[in-house]
Amino acid sequence: MFEDLTAKLESAFRKLRGKGKLSDKDVEAALREIRLALLEADVHYKVVKDFLASVKERAIGAEVLGSLAPGQQVVKVVHDEMVRLLGGSASSIPLASQPPTVLLLVGLQGSGKTTAAAKLAARFKRKGKRPFLVAADVHRPAAAEQLAQLGRAVGCEVARGAEGEPAEKIAGDAVREARGKLADVVLVDTAGRLTIDEEMMAEVERVRTAVKPHEILLVVDGMTGQDAVQTATAFNERLGIDGFVLTKMDGDARGGAALSIRAVTGKPIKLVGVGEGIDALEEFHPDRMAQRILGMGDIVSLVERAEQAFDEGKAEALAKRLRERTFTLDDFAEQVRSVRKMGPLDQVLGMLPGAARLPKGLSFDEKAIGRVEAILSSMTPGERAEPEILNGSRRRRIARGSGTTVQEVNQILRQYDMLRKMMRRAGRGRRGGIPKGM
């Protein structure tokens, strides 16, 4: 996420950090680099102009130039202004006092509305709510079937009208049905077009009238840069949107959309899609996003992912076995599965401070984790409990069964042995066991 932008900003800051004292010229030179980096990231030119004016006003004052660490102060100023630019604080989706809360999802074709609706449903379901999906896209072939399949994956009911029914009738009937079934949240997926046109806007207006949504969320492709600003402006002027869902932020997102739409429309970014998985939708936190963009990492989000991925009960059981010094290959397999739940490894690494300084283009073989799981699954329960019995013939059988090599099996066993020793030391050092999420 924002790999190129982060690297360029890091380069500009690096030149400042090494100086004990900054002049106005030093600050101006850094601001020129920041300006170029933002424009290349396809941030709206007016947003860039206003942002740099705010940074400059603070950066050439006593707050920075009189500081003992002026380079760090400039970074802090840029961070604070970027947080303000992104909205200041998180903006959640409020639930209606009288259920169901009706959310209308709008946007251009290809922005990811249908998938975003299902991800939102999954998110609400994890919070103990009863979501209800509505397939009101009557133009895109198989749109209703796609939502139905996603609904089954989430375990959520999906309402779809008869062929030929107008979108507003399907949506209105579905909201009444959801109310009768005591749903907590109704998510209405609407049709889009490749470009904004009168027919699409008129249809969405009719759907809005039929369902009377509590919030209208504009789904925006995070890779579209300044085009997202034009889309956001048009939808906001016509419908009065309440916020944004930014999708595809795990792809080649340059940052233009995220850094522009809030400043131009005044409406908050509420959620961001960070992967293809049904649970890959996160609440948008301006301070955390600013930290990621500036290469400071996002430890809070990393911890939250770990807490979701690591079952508390299993963590306690693991802590007990560590105290008893009985960490087995079954425990190792459980840790591998939990790490996988946290998402792609490059995403997880990107949340660590200083990730931008890693070699560009560094990639991870996600299939490697799959091979580890295959090797562990090819072992018998007895072998996982007592790896000491894994002689040469057993290792050859495991390699054949997992589609790997004996060398790979040996490597996994070495890694397990190293981890077991490390965790035993950690277990001896903590009488209370390991922290949740380890």
pTM: 0.69
| Residue % of the chain over a pLDDT of 70 | 76
Residue 76 has pLDDT above 90, yes or no: no
Domains and CATH numbers, the chain: 3-86 (1.20.120.140), 101-297 (3.40.50.300), 303-429 (1.10.260.30)
pLDDT (0 to 100) of residue 121: 95
Rounded CA-CA distance 239/231 in Å is 12
Residue 195 has pLDDT above 50, yes or no: yes
User: What's phi and psi for 50, nearest 5 deg?
Assistant: -65, -40
Give residue 365's pLDDT band: very low, low, confident or very high (50, 70, 90).
low
Residue 426 has pLDDT above 80, yes or no: no
pLDDT in tens, 108-123: 988 889 999 999 999 9
Q: Average pLDDT in the 195-212 region?
A: 91
Rounded CA-CA distance 233/231 in Å is 6
Query: By mean pLDDT, which of 55-69, 178-192, 299-313, 406-420 is the weakest?
Result: 299-313
User: Which residue did the predictor score with more confidence, 312 or 271?
Assistant: 271
pLDDT (0 to 100) of residue 312: 60
pLDDT (0 to 100) of residue 431: 43
User: Which residue did the predictor score with more confidence, 317 or 5?
Assistant: 5
* Tokens at 129, concatenated: 């709510």
Cβ atoms of 190 and 200 closer than 8 Å: no
Rounded CA-CA distance 420/39 in Å is 49
Query: By mean pLDDT, which of 198-202, 337-341, 374-378 is the weakest?
Result: 337-341
pLDDT (0 to 100) of residue 277: 81
How much is the mean pLDDT over the chain? 80
pLDDT (0 to 100) of residue 179: 92
Q: Average pLDDT in the 284-291 region?
A: 86
Query: By mean pLDDT, which of 12-26, 210-224, 304-318, 363-377 is the weakest?
Result: 304-318
pLDDT (0 to 100) of residue 434: 35
Rounded CA-CA distance 435/318 in Å is 10
Q: Average pLDDT in the 225-252 region?
A: 85
The angle formed by the CA atoms of residues 340, 343 and 346, to the nearest 5 degrees, is 105
pLDDT in tens, 245-281: 998 877 655 667 888 888 888 999 999 888 788 888 8
pLDDT in tens, 336-362: 666 666 665 555 555 555 545 544 444
Where b means 16+ CB within 10 Å and e means fewer, 108-138 reads beebbbbbbbbbbbbbbbeeebbbbbbbbbb
Give residue 397's pLDDT band: very low, low, confident or very high (50, 70, 90).
very high
